[in-house]
Amino acid sequence: MNDLLKKDWFGLGIVIIFGSILISIFKPAFISPFNLYVLMLSVSLMLVVAMSQMIIIAIGQMNLSVGAIGGLVAISFTGLMEVYDLSIFLSMCIGLGIGVICGFINGYITVKTGISAFIITLATLYIFKGMNLGITEAQPFYDIPDAVKYFGNAKIFGPIPFLVIIPVIITFFMWILMNRTTLGRYMLAYGNNVQSSELMGISSTKIVVYAHIISGLLAAIGGMLVVCRLQLGTPNIGDSWLLPSFAAPVIGGAILAGGKVDVIATAFGVILVAIISQTLVIFKIDPFFVQIFLGFMILIAVFINRYREYREERRNKVFSNE
């Protein structure tokens, strides 16, 4: 039981359960089939985006271009189908390839220049966004195949959307990656201490590039999922991803300095953020306050994580002195 209480996701799970019950008491509409459907759609889309940022946080870096990559892929995916009449499968493969290439560019330049990923991805954010606007001339693509529209809006049963399938699968594989593979352990080791990991024979170049490639791939999937949901490709897809992409992993206990992330806790962080956003809508509170809430939640989560680090450091010092 003590081990369970120490899990980052346990406290979030309790907050989600009791918070949902409390909201439902005051606003029964919260658990209506339609609201649950909208909530699950929101969770599904942001779950992929959060995982895209989480893997970069694991190595102690940041990817500010997550939304720009997602937007570029989204517009490329729809443009290839509408303008060049390519099949859904081929357009999807090209979209995934674009995401991988964008991620590779971020990782490779970061490693080879030694410049902070914060600066590199800030620059590529504007490059990818500029390419997006250049391709579309700031105009959306509307001619989306019916199969894409169906996938984005159909339901498995009850209020559960088809769209939830891919994010759940991605979350499962991300958990396997970070907890059961050598690559995942190397990423966490690199994020925890770069010098020590290099002494262990871990290649910094490979770790950083692989992390950014996976991040770019997930951002690409997120962009195409948004297209399925919106039933169109619009140039502003991804513009609002940056804050939520950091909020969920940090709320889930991730340390921005690297070396510690939790896939399940990140997923719970996404659910918590989605519940808060949906609650504000139900209570008819200005949706712009969502950004304020997220900002405060990130600050609080960072302070809590720092306090836990401080306590752990003090405990280790006591043990070493003994």
Q: In this structure, is residue 238 part of a structural domain?
A: yes
Q: In this structure, is residue 130 part of a structural domain?
A: yes
Q: In this structure, is residue 83 part of a structural domain?
A: yes
- The Cα 308–Cα 315 span in angstroms is 10
pLDDT tier for residue 3 given thresholds of 50, 70 and 90? low
Q: In this structure, is residue 13 part of a structural domain?
A: no
> What confidence score (pLDDT) does residue 303 get?
81
> What confidence score (pLDDT) does residue 11 get?
82
Q: In this structure, is residue 181 part of a structural domain?
A: yes
Q: In this structure, is residue 57 part of a structural domain?
A: yes
pLDDT of residue 39 exceeding 70, the answer is yes
Total domain count for the chain?
1
Q: In this structure, is residue 313 part of a structural domain?
A: no
Whether the CB-CB separation of 43 and 20 falls below 8 Å is answered with: no
pLDDT digits (tens, 9 = 90+) for 179-238: 999 999 999 999 999 999 988 899 999 999 999 999 999 999 999 999 999 999 999 999
Residue 46: give the domain boundaries. 32-242
pLDDT of residue 1 exceeding 60, the answer is no
pLDDT of residue 85 exceeding 80, the answer is yes
pLDDT of residue 26 exceeding 70, the answer is yes
> What confidence score (pLDDT) does residue 147 get?
94
pLDDT of residue 142 exceeding 60, the answer is yes
> What confidence score (pLDDT) does residue 6 get?
64
> What confidence score (pLDDT) does residue 5 get?
58
Q: In this structure, is residue 310 part of a structural domain?
A: no
Look at 287 and 33; give whichever has higher pLDDT.
33
pTM value is 0.93
pLDDT tier for residue 317 given thresholds of 50, 70 and 90? low
